[in-house]
Amino acid sequence: MSSGMKVGAVIITMGNRPDELRALLDSVAKQDGDRVEVVVVGNGSPVPEVPEGVRTVELPENLGIPGGRNVGIEAFGPGGTDVDILLFLDDDGLLARNDTAELCRAAFAADPKLGIVSFRIADPDTGVTQRRHVPRLRAADPMRSSRVTTFLGGANAVRTKVLAEVGGLPDEFFYAHEETDLAWRALDAGWMIDYRSDMVLYHPTTAPSRHAVYHRMVARNRVWLARRNLPALLVPVYLGVWVLLTLVRRPSRAALRAWFGGFKEGWTTACGPRRPMKWRTVWRLTRLGRPPVI
């Protein structure tokens, strides 16, 4: 099946899950086909002991998820161009199958416009995929593969030509919505994104964080996402919808206070360069089932 496409993997770690990291690295090493080159980035922490042949980068401070992953990208040359495909994997995940890298090679070789593949995340004990881990609005059937408009940050594969064309993840975000920012830029450049239920990353079931910082970052970055990427007419619509959705979900008073604090911060702080998507991209997102107002 191998197409000859070179595959690399970027894993960021805080150094606090050495056993899980080793299990993930073992699952990458067992992939069929040509060897997957791996870079582990210690995001403000030392990297635990890793097998021979795995490269490491230790950062003096935590740059956040997008910042750490961008460092991993550059470890494969400018924009990751030493390889054709990069896997981004959470350090407490585990590739469920030995043919995932080969499936990625085949998918990208078969479709020249495919830019990103989002894997299915499943609990290792129950096999259950949480609804929030299916990157589309119609998420009832996680076993249905489809074209989508975003992807899961710690379980995906990206064609490095996408990164060369539209840039990497937004460092400023630190955490939350950085995947959608990259996804919208990729879609605006004409690339497509697939969700593949047969490409599985085992990951323990967890609930979204309910700490105040979670709500602040989610709200701030939601505003940044809109300011950076949406046509001016859609910015208030998109953010207005998300204010209503947040209120309908009835978070605690403390969570709501943090959320609105982040929302304000999103308007009053620099969000990076603004490159509004084309209206034809808005229509493409709409046809794919997720218009950029929700």
- Answer whether residue 289 shows pLDDT above 60: yes
Q: What mean pLDDT value characterizes the chain?
A: 95
Q: How confident is the model at residue 213 (pLDDT cuts 50, 70, 90)?
A: confident
H-state helical runs in 204-291: 212-229, 235-248, 253-268, 279-287
48-88 per-position pLDDT tens digit: 999 999 999 999 999 999 999 999 999 999 999 999 999 99
Q: How confident is the model at residue 211 (pLDDT cuts 50, 70, 90)?
A: low
Contact between 171 and 66 under an 8 Å Cβ cutoff? The reply is yes
Looking at residue 237, its pLDDT comes to 97
Q: At what angle do helices 212-229 and 235-248 cross, to 10 degrees?
A: 160
Sign of the four-CA dihedral 117, 2, 200, 41: negative
Predicted TM-score (pTM) of the model is 0.96
Neighbours of 93 (CB within 10 A): 23
